Amino acid sequence: MKQYMIEAIDITKIFPGTVANDHVSLKVKAGEIMGLVGENGAGKSTILKCLNGVYPHDTFDGKILIEGKEVHFKNPLEAMHAGIGYVPQEVNVLPDLNVAENIYMFDLTNGKKTIFVNPKELYKRTEEFLKEAAIDLDPQADVRKLSVGQQQMLMIARALAENPKILILDEPTTSLSSSDVQSLFRVVRSLKEKGLAILFVTHKMDEILELTDSLTVMRDGKNAGFYERADYDQDKIIRDMIGRELSVMYPTRDVEIGEEKFRVEHLSVPHPYILNRFLVEDVNFSVRKGEVVALAGLVGAGRSEIVMSLFGVLPKSSGNIYIDGQQVSINNPQAAMDHGIGLVTEDRKKYGLHFSWSIKKNITISKLKKIMTGPFISGRKETEAAQKYYDAMRVKATSPKELVDALSGGNQQKVVIARTLNAEPDIVFLDEPTKGIDVGAKAEIYEIINDMAKEGKSVIFISSELPELMAMCDRFVVIAEGKVAGELTKEEATEDSIMALATKTFKSVS
Amino acid sequence: MRKAISKISAKVPEFGIIIALAVLMILTQIMNSNFLSAANMTALLKSIPFVALVSLGSSLCLTVASLDIACGRIAGLCGMVFGFTLTIMHLSLPVAILLGVATGLIFGIFHALMVVGAGINAFVVTMGTLYVAGGCRYLINHGDPMNLPAYYRNFSQASPLGVSWLFWIVVLIYIIVGFVEARTVFGRRLYAVGSNSEVAKLQGINVKFMRSCALILSGLFSGMAGVMATIDINSSQAATGTGWEFKAIAGCFIGGTSLSGGSGRAFGVAIGVFFVFILDNIINMMKISNYWSDVFTGAVLLLSVLFDVYRKSRKIKA
Amino acid sequence: MKRNSNSKSTGTSFLEIILSPEVSILVPLLILVAITTAKNPNFLTIKNIQVILRNLVFIGTLAIGQSLVIMCGDIDLSIGTNSTLTGVFFGVALVWWGLGFIPSLLLTIFIGLFIGGVNAFFTNVCKINSWIVTMATKYMCVGMATVITKGYIIPIKDWSNALYEWSRLRPLGGLSWPFFLFFGLIVIGEIAIRFTPIGRKIHAVGLNANAAVLDGINVPKVKAMCQITAGLMGAICGILQVANTNTATNAIGEGNEFPAVISAVIGGVSNTGGKGTMLGVLLGVIMYQTLKNCLQLMGANNNLQLVLLGLILILAVYVDVLKGKISSRARKAVAK
């Protein structure tokens, strides 16, 4: 009976307002590839951070055992020394050094107690190691010049160089081309032969079916299902990923949809630092007045990039935008706002608010023209405008003069929405507007969205929570791998049908 | 042809600058045959070592994505301390040298405490110490020059291989630092820290320690440069060091060091500093008003930084 | 449901007031003033105060420009030598080229704006760190000034003594026209920062440039405006210097960016950007000039003054960073 190489038992991690992991367990045997799958927000990255030492052991409850022995990690280095190799999702290398140095930076001298580095020895050692691991890289190659797939391989090699017993791969195929994906699978299979326990995090059904020996499904921070390869059933797996009781009451709306307000054709957004790679490819969709359209899909599919480029923040390599039937040119946020588009962002810390300012100032900054008397800002108009949206959003604070950083997350998000609405847009892009917010505030935000639609605005709603999307939206555009995977009407949209489109892979894995 | 060039550039990143330098020198020689004369070249090489040493220290800071703009005045201050302890306090030569260099070291340690320890912007901190060191130069001996005993001239005026002993000492330091950069664990870790400090940390490198070392070494080299400059002209001058940081940093960027850290090496810095001094020299030789030299150095500084920004912005292949 | 129970705003804890640059510099300054007055009773006389106020206009105008740039999160090391070069152009235009007063004035202002524009171009379009850009333009400016004057001091009296005499007038309270010009600029600046959209936008850019982009603010344009205005301030300072000394020379102005930065930082313009008012800058400039005057009367020579100012800059920035750390810790505690 094969012993488990790594076991996580009853891991519970709580953040203010949410339980990210609720008694989550998983165990992987040596020579096994286990898939870890789940929707956005299911708790996958949390459990990984507990396993690889990013969350110190005293910040969560539960046990972690390696080869039967309990371990406690204070930081990622300790996890590494204990035999856990972790390959992050985003490429993170030392671009100015070569392959050999990237792999062996933690041990440039091969264990010898010397201050000198012998390049020839290092290259030879790296070459032998790479051959063993079946990874095709030149030890002396300049890492900056490597392709993305090669850099991903480099990160895997780096993790392997520490001789891990366990290898965690966090959504490794996100930036890879089809041929890179096949190379990756080859390497992973050879590692399995060598007896490593491999945890392969993904949300792509094809990869699960193709590569993994077993599967743990997570949902809402809990274990939701476990499958051995023989029992794989795609429908059942998807249902485990999304099945839940509706604990939130969604407000109803009388739907009055008008004519087409906004249309985009052939939208493509290039990758910021990878040549010939696109974050968004040839996307077309439209929104009508009074309509709430969902941009559904998994994290990393390109939904945020679509709205960011339509708002003029990200550069697009192609794309025609039509508002009220007229083509418009939008290359920067001012142009977008001039054409009546507003954007509520996902990351309110980075893009959302000025934290040392008051609520009032944050709300009114989006359209200073509204609150001016002559060339000056009118204090009275500012207060009036801010109060209007402050009340409409039902922000819970002592007054609009309060500083934004003293508010709870939900209320901060309301201020972000208020800021966007202050510019009186006709078209509103909402990117994960209820992320990280408690139930009560969510309900209020749903009311606000309904009000927007009632007023005849056109709303694009991005969310990773399917129930929320399904309750609020009239039409569904599903994005996968930067392309439109399909469109569904309200009647056609079920959680199954949306997920099936969202997990569509355009790259071949076999 | 293009393949050959890119192959050479891969092995020798300073290739472009070396070619530009060679072209510049050839053109100047054509227009003024005194340019490549032994007299002109040796005078040039004798004047370089001090700024070059300071530049080396600056490059170490830049490699870890930090900076020390006080380096020039620190050098000047150390020269004054050296002269003062030697000629006025009548301490022995080794002790005087030690104290002079230690002054630089102290500034380096202060920088490390403020920038790495307290987390204050390196530019602002070293702007402050620039004026502290700058003013202190004139407080020692009321800012009056102090002449070293005459017999030191035997050392400073000596011409081994046509240049000075000090030149060769700095060459030696460059070789040592270059070796450390390329062939020691410490050196490779410096580059790792500048290239991606997050990854460096995960690989077990103490990023704070490495950054502190760079700042301290910069102070140390500034101290050594100041003492050497004093010996070279046989006198401590309070104005020494003013404006050195400009040439030092320009030399770094021209030689391939990047503001974002992680690249550039001792050899490149040497080429870069040489380029800056040649530019000055050309302006002299061509009877262009001396006053243009700062203008040109500034323009070259901007161009080299521009090129660096361009290089870093190019996309990776898919 | 999570609710924030402590809804007091976090901006005014006692410790923060103590640590604000204004207070932490003001108290030692008052002590210094007391010591100086004790040693030299001439210090606290009206006459001396008038001298202080009249003399602060040069650093003052530079400080206005510098603080705008710092508020956006950048810096302008060239503002000092900007005043050198623009002063030289002014003198040359009047005396050597014989242009009239108005054309010379316009030319000088244009040069100042141009320098600011160069800084703006390399910082915002080429995306180079403003420290490096303005370090380069600093040397280029003083170099150009030296090239033009070849070390000569241009005597303005060869054109006319009118400007010099104008600067010597004392229209009100013993203060000069340049002072009122400076004060007027402060008032305009304060109104702009506090009450106009551009002021809001400058702070937004300095606080969080990414959020400012999504607020619909044209970040490069705002930054460029501040840098070009700084260039204009350099020109104004250059003209005032020429009026004050009745000469145009390449020897004045270099190094003045330093007191400009200090005045801004003491005056509460955070060196990380996003905060600050012109009244704060005024306070900072007054404190700086008073400090300088005290030190002079105490017999501290120029160099000792530089040393002390360097230490003050480091202290002020240290305090600023400390304050930031305390208030963010307080914020995190409250927001839980």
Query: Could you tell me the pLDDT band of residue C6, with boundaries at 50, 70 and 90?
Result: very low
What was the pLDDT predicted at C167? 84
The ipTM (two decimal places) reads 0.86
pLDDT at B315 over 90: no
What was the pLDDT predicted at C118? 96
**In this structure, how many other beta carbons lie within 10 angstroms of the beta carbon of residue C308?**
18
The mean pLDDT value for B103-120 works out to: 95
- What is the tens place of the pLDDT at every residue in C255-268? 899 999 989 988 87
Does the beta-carbon distance from A356 to C207 stay under 8 Å?
Answer: yes
Does CATH number 1.10.3470 belong to domain C56-321? yes
- What is the tens place of the pLDDT at every residue in A145-154? 888 788 888 9
Q: Residue C267 corresponds to which tokens in the numbers above?
A: 């005056």
Distances from the Cα of C91 to the Cα of C150, C151, C246, angstroms: 13, 13, 9
pLDDT at B69 over 90: yes
Alpha-carbon distance A232 to nearest alpha carbon in chain C (angstroms) = 39
The mean pLDDT value for C9-34 works out to: 65
Does the beta-carbon distance from A275 to B195 stay under 8 Å?
Answer: no
What was the pLDDT predicted at A336? 93
What was the pLDDT predicted at B265? 92
Contact list, A274 vs chain B (CB under 8 Å): 315-318
- Whether B200 and chain A come into contact, CB under 8 Å, resolves to yes
Interface test with chain A among B12, B203, B206, by most A beta carbons within 10 Å: B203
Chain A / chain B CB contacts < 8 angstroms: 89
Contact list, B135 vs chain C (CB under 8 Å): 302-308, 310
Cβ-nearest to A438 among C1, C208, C216: C1
Q: Which residue has the tokens 């054509």?
A: B30
What was the pLDDT predicted at C241? 93
Query: Could you tell me the pLDDT band of residue B106, with boundaries at 50, 70 and 90?
Result: very high
Cross-strand partners of A263: A286, A322
* Among chain C residues, CA nearest to B137: C303
> Are the CB atoms for C69 and C75 separated by under 8 Å?
yes
Higher pLDDT, C329 or C229: C229
What lies within 8 Å, CB to CB, of C200 at 6+ separation is: A361, A365, A368, A377
Residues 329-358 of A with CB under 8 A from C: 332-334, 336-337, 343, 345, 350-358
* Among chain C residues, CA nearest to B73: C307
H or E element, residue A377: strand A376-377
3-state secondary structure at position B314 = coil
* Among chain A residues, CA nearest to B205: A106
Among residues B262, B247, B212, B279, which one has the least CA distance to residue B75?
B247
Which chains are adjacent to chain C, needing at least 3 Cβ pairs under 8 Å?
A: A, B
What lies within 8 Å, CB to CB, of A219 at 6+ separation is: A38, A39, A42, A240, A241, A242, A243, A244
What was the pLDDT predicted at C210? 86
Cβ-nearest to B128 among C144, C150, C314: C314
Cβ-nearest to C215 among A366, A409, A439: A366
Alpha-carbon distance A76 to nearest alpha carbon in chain B (angstroms) = 7
Q: CA geometry: angle at C241 spanning C240 and C245, to 5°?
A: 120
- What is the tens place of the pLDDT at every residue in A130-141? 998 888 899 999
- Whether B175 and chain C come into contact, CB under 8 Å, resolves to no
Mean of the per-residue pLDDT values of chain B: 89
Question: Cα A26 from chain centroid?
Answer: 22
Does the beta-carbon distance from A356 to C191 stay under 8 Å?
Answer: no
Strands (E), chain B: 146-147, 235-236
Domain annotation for chain B: domains and CATH numbers = 47-298 (1.10.3470)
What was the pLDDT predicted at B308? 81
Does the beta-carbon distance from C208 to A354 stay under 8 Å?
Answer: yes
What was the pLDDT predicted at A19? 78
What was the pLDDT predicted at C11? 42
Residues 170-189 of A with CB under 8 A from B: 177
What was the pLDDT predicted at C3? 33
Mean of the per-residue pLDDT values of chain C: 85
State the pairing for strand pair A32-38/A214-219.
Answer: parallel
Query: Could you tell me the pLDDT band of residue C9, with boundaries at 50, 70 and 90?
Result: very low
pLDDT at B287 over 80: no
Query: Could you tell me the pLDDT band of residue C171, with boundaries at 50, 70 and 90?
Result: confident
What's this model's pTM, rounded to 2 decimal places?
0.84
What was the pLDDT predicted at A222? 87
What lies within 8 Å, CB to CB, of B48 at 6+ separation is: B167, B170, B273, B274, B277
Does the beta-carbon distance from B302 to C143 stay under 8 Å?
Answer: no
What was the pLDDT predicted at A1? 47
Low-confidence ranges of chain A (pLDDT < 50): 1, 246
What length is written for chain B? 318
- What is the tens place of the pLDDT at every residue in C192-208? 998 889 998 999 998 88
- Whether B303 and chain C come into contact, CB under 8 Å, resolves to no
Cβ-nearest to B291 among C146, C304, C306: C146
A7-11, B74-78, C104-108, C268-272: least confident range: C268-272
Alpha-carbon distance C303 to nearest alpha carbon in chain B (angstroms) = 4
Cβ-nearest to B199 among A77, A92, A177: A92
A123/A120 Cα distance (integer angstroms): 5
What was the pLDDT predicted at A243? 65
Domain annotation for chain A: domains and CATH numbers = 4-93+165-242 (3.40.50.300), 259-340+426-510 (3.40.50.300), 352-424 (no CATH)
Which chains are adjacent to chain A, needing at least 3 Cβ pairs under 8 Å?
A: B, C
pLDDT at C10 over 70: no
> Are the CB atoms for B296 and B290 separated by under 8 Å?
no
Cross-strand partners of A70: A65
Higher pLDDT, B197 or C273: B197
Distances from the Cα of C207 to the Cα of A103, A225, B122, C203, C273, angstroms: 39, 46, 20, 6, 6
What length is written for chain A? 510
What was the pLDDT predicted at C7? 35
pLDDT at C1 over 50: no
Does the beta-carbon distance from C307 to B135 stay under 8 Å?
Answer: yes
What was the pLDDT predicted at B160? 77
3-state secondary structure at position A267 = strand
Cβ-nearest to B316 among A77, A101, A273: A273
- Distance linking the first and last C-alpha atoms of chain B: 26
DSSP B315: P
What was the pLDDT predicted at A14? 84
3-state secondary structure at position A492 = coil
What was the pLDDT predicted at A462? 93
Interface test with chain B among C126, C140, C265, C269, by most B beta carbons within 10 Å: C140
* Among chain B residues, CA nearest to A150: B318
> Crossing angle of helices C46-55/C177-195, nearest 10°?
60
What was the pLDDT predicted at C28? 75
Alpha-carbon distance B156 to nearest alpha carbon in chain A (angstroms) = 35
Alpha-carbon distance C100 to nearest alpha carbon in chain B (angstroms) = 28
Cβ-nearest to B123 among C131, C136, C137: C131
3-state secondary structure at position A153 = helix
Chain C interface with A: residues with Cβ < 8 Å: 1-4, 6-11, 191, 195-197, 200-201, 203-204, 207-208, 210-218, 274-275, 331, 334-336
Contact list, A366 vs chain C (CB under 8 Å): 215-216
* Among chain B residues, CA nearest to A91: B199
- Whether A105 and chain B come into contact, CB under 8 Å, resolves to yes
What was the pLDDT predicted at B38? 82
Contact list, C142 vs chain B (CB under 8 Å): 294
What was the pLDDT predicted at C19? 61
What was the pLDDT predicted at C243? 92
Cβ-nearest to C195 among A343, A376, A440: A376
> Are the CB atoms for C144 and B292 separated by under 8 Å?
no
What was the pLDDT predicted at C64? 95
**In this structure, how many other beta carbons lie within 10 angstroms of the beta carbon of residue A183?**
19
Higher pLDDT, B10 or B271: B271
What was the pLDDT predicted at A351? 78
* Among chain A residues, CA nearest to B260: A96
- Whether A443 and chain C come into contact, CB under 8 Å, resolves to no
Residues 110-169 of C with CB under 8 A from B: 122, 126-129, 131-133, 135-140, 142-144, 146-147, 150
pLDDT at C333 over 60: no
* Among chain A residues, CA nearest to C4: A408
- Whether C5 and chain B come into contact, CB under 8 Å, resolves to no
